[in-house]
Amino acid sequence: MFSWRVETLMSDPAKLNVLLTGLLVDVETSPGSGSFETDERLRATKVVSESDDRISAATIVARLDDGFDAIDARDRYSPDCRVVVWTDDASDGVPSILFDGYPVRCVSERDGRIRRAADEARLEAVGVYSRWAADIRSQVYGRRMRSAAIVDGLATDPDEYIGLSVLAESLPCVFNDGGLPNRSPDPLVVRDVDGTEHEVFVFTYEGDPAAKSWTLLDALRYLLWFYRLPEGPVSYAHLLDLTSVATGFEAGGRKRFTVPSRLILQLLTDADDLNCEATNLVEAVALIAERAGVHATCEPDFVDGVVRSTLRMWAPADGENKSLRLAWGGRYADGSARYAADLVTEHDIFDANEIGSMEIDWDHSAVVNAPKVVGAVKRWEMTVPLVPGWEPEVNLDNVDPPDRDTAKLLALTPDQVEFAGPDVEMSPWYRKYHRNGSEFEDHRNVSRLWVLNEDGAFDGATFDRNAPFDSYEPFDFSTVADGQVTAMGQWTRRPRRFWPTITVAADGSDFGVFVEVSFDGGLSWSKPVGQVSVLKDRAGIWFGVVNPTSMIEPDGNPAERNMWYALIDQVFRVRVTAVFEADERLVSTFASNTAHTPTVFQNAELVYKPGLYRFARRMGTVEALADIDSGEQVFEIDDLHLADAVASSIAANRQEGQINVEVKIPWIDARFEIGNRVNWVGSRGVMLNGRLAHSKARDSDWSVVGKTYVQTESSVETRLHLSRRIVSG
């Protein structure tokens, strides 16, 4: 055991000497054995514990002599054998494990200068968490899904197939791709190597009506299970157990928790457009942590005589709150001592001095006083009328009233087509407008294609016909939406496609893109008969009926009224209720407060999170579904308040500049753990945001996000790295 004696820096009267415990190094006896022996040749000089996607590291020096040179060190300290740095100063007798990793580099250091002669080997080790970044099994690509055979097998033998999935390599690992749900409705039930069962969701196919939205929590469980190293040095089981309480909950389900942890609450966020393709497991977990505003830490520990490392995720607000006390030495102007060490006991001295020194750096080069949070494109649900997307046809469009009955006689109803048999091709109407007709491809859009003409591509000179379709102009969205949505001519004229409605039926089913037709000029509406295709390149639909006269009203008779006849009579109408993308995004800005910022410049930080902050509304629009749904199944989304909170948080924490805090403790300290909260320095009355403790300012989200242990020939030191977590999506 290494030990030194140092004097406290308080004052001469106390002169208290403290026995300090150094850093000990054990080496694994063989790769993967889990058995360690202390190596007296090794001395750790620096250990850095990190969070998120940063890997902990250690610098270890190997003592060389005539019987053990650098080549021997290279051969002895294999990159496959773990090294453990520990200290034995724990009061309970259990050693504190400070580092667990692999010596990936061995550097020979030689110095032959007079009075500086040295010959030693330096081992550069990285934490065991690095295996999750490097191992081939931890590389993320593709999506785990249920194959057709698995789906069929679940119906006949669910116990056999409940835990099976396949990797669809052709599809990227993007959760809620495009903001649309793509999570399987039912989980896999998988069994770990120790027999423990877990529920883990997989992906489903795009457009699956039963698909659910991924939360960050379920995405985390998916990644941990499928890309973990079951026999590896990092345990994931605790995190799977911890998150099982909210498995399968959608983001709105967070309200069901009565006493939730902040970690679970923050992980119960939609994982929209979370792209983990071509990452490794460390990077993927860090992406989730960043999105949720939490941290991930790989922590070594000594359990049941075995060194183990565990992946832990933590929210700053959940951390145990610990104080930092540092008495202020020196004297006041009148000569009296600020801290009279000679008047207190040794216990009081240490109680007033948990740390040796502290550095707070207010960096004004990083001032952000005008943050801007940019979310998704605003989407509005509205009902719009469509117009014919074909050029006027003889005997269909522009037919004068006296000639309409004659024009109708040219069309063939389904019964007439069947009666004509092979001779039906003799009919010019059949050849052009029936899907089995020989000339159909040249006339395929007639009666079937209906468009909004939002970009004005369908010009009046070509497409105008009898009323009500006698004035083709670019569609003006202000005719179906009020001023809070758009004004006349405010939106650009460009193709906009239909997106599924945000309104759902009373039974929870989706309306999708909701198409309705009318045979009486808009007095009554019904769903169309037959297939309806929604165009992908513009706002339009195409009726896939085989015979246009087969589209009729519910319980109607095609011989009396059908789509073709209604078009001739100029009373056929089509309307669509769908979601449209506006020209605006959800944007939140924050006006700088000149009283709290050291600069008059408007320094910005752009937080661009279109997949996290969304906006989809139907208020202020013409809405046909308002009278159809139950009134309680409208999934409107307006995350402006969340974006505002982020902008306000950034401004509150950054408009005075970046604050960097490093605390130095003159011994090896295991009391402060990564994730502990520290909100002020006792005995100094200083808050970590630079304000006095008696002010109303509060700042409780400072957390220990990293630790560094340093050991020299004459001293040891623990450094705490403190940071505020600004949740930026």
Please check whether residue 3 is in contact with residue 21, taking contact to mean a CB–CB distance below 8 angstroms. Answer: yes
Q: Do 202 and 269 fall within a single domain? A: yes
For the segment 623-645, the average pLDDT, to the nearest whole number, is 75
Q: Do 428 and 564 fall within a single domain? A: yes
pLDDT band at residue 330 using 50, 70 and 90 as cut-offs: low
Of the three residues 235, 251, 277, the one that is the final residue of a domain is: 277
Total domains in the chain come to 4
Does residue 256 or residue 10 have the better pLDDT?
256
For the segment 453-471, the average pLDDT, to the nearest whole number, is 94
Q: Do 550 and 626 fall within a single domain? A: no
Cα 354 from Cα 356, distance rounded (Å): 7
Cα 605 from Cα 260, distance rounded (Å): 32
Q: Is the pTM of this model over 0.85?
A: no
For the segment 28-56, the average pLDDT, to the nearest whole number, is 90
Domain contains 728: no
Chain mean pLDDT for the chain: 84
pLDDT of the residue at 688: 47
Domain contains 322: no
Of the three residues 254, 277, 300, the one that is the final residue of a domain is: 277
Q: Do 572 and 598 fall within a single domain? A: no
C-alpha distances (whole Å) from 411 to each of 4, 328, 536 are 104, 99, 31
Domain contains 671: no
Q: Do 179 and 78 fall within a single domain? A: no
Q: Do 483 and 439 fall within a single domain? A: yes
| pLDDT beyond 60 at 504 | yes
Long-range contacts of the stretch 238-247 (C-beta < 8 A, 24+)? 238/310, 238/311, 238/312, 239/311, 239/312, 239/313, 240/198, 243/217, 243/267, 244/198, 244/199, 246/215, 246/217, 247/187, 247/199, 247/201, 247/217, 247/218, 247/221
Structure tokens at 352: 């007033």
pLDDT of the residue at 692: 33
Domain contains 222: yes
Cα 557 from Cα 391, distance rounded (Å): 28
Q: Do 419 and 387 fall within a single domain? A: yes
| pLDDT beyond 90 at 671 | no
Q: Do 92 and 190 fall within a single domain? A: no
Q: Which amino acid is at 398?
A: N
Q: Do 573 and 587 fall within a single domain? A: no
pLDDT band at residue 716 using 50, 70 and 90 as cut-offs: confident
Q: Do 110 and 249 fall within a single domain? A: no
pLDDT band at residue 604 using 50, 70 and 90 as cut-offs: confident
- Phi, psi angle pair for 98, to nearest 5°: -100, -20
Q: Do 251 and 118 fall within a single domain? A: no
Structure tokens at 15: 């002169």
Domain contains 356: no
pLDDT of the residue at 722: 82
Tell me the H-state helices in 135-234. Answer: 148-156, 158-161, 216-227
The range of the structural domain enclosing residue 254 comes to: 142-277
Please check whether residue 678 is in contact with residue 324, taking contact to mean a CB–CB distance below 8 angstroms. Answer: yes
Q: Which amino acid is at 231?
A: E
For residue 461, give the H/E element and its range. Answer: helix 460-463
Please check whether residue 224 is in contact with residue 240, taking contact to mean a CB–CB distance below 8 angstroms. Answer: yes
Closest by Cα among 544, 573, 551, 565 to 411? 565
CATH code of residue 79: 2.40.10.10
For the segment 244-259, the average pLDDT, to the nearest whole number, is 70
Out of 437-441, 487-491, 689-693, 707-711, the most confident range is: 437-441
For the segment 95-124, the average pLDDT, to the nearest whole number, is 81
Structure tokens at 570: 């100029």
Q: Do 507 and 588 fall within a single domain? A: no
For the segment 703-709, the average pLDDT, to the nearest whole number, is 88
Cα 24 from Cα 2, distance rounded (Å): 7
**pLDDT tens for residues 528-544?**
988 999 999 999 999 99
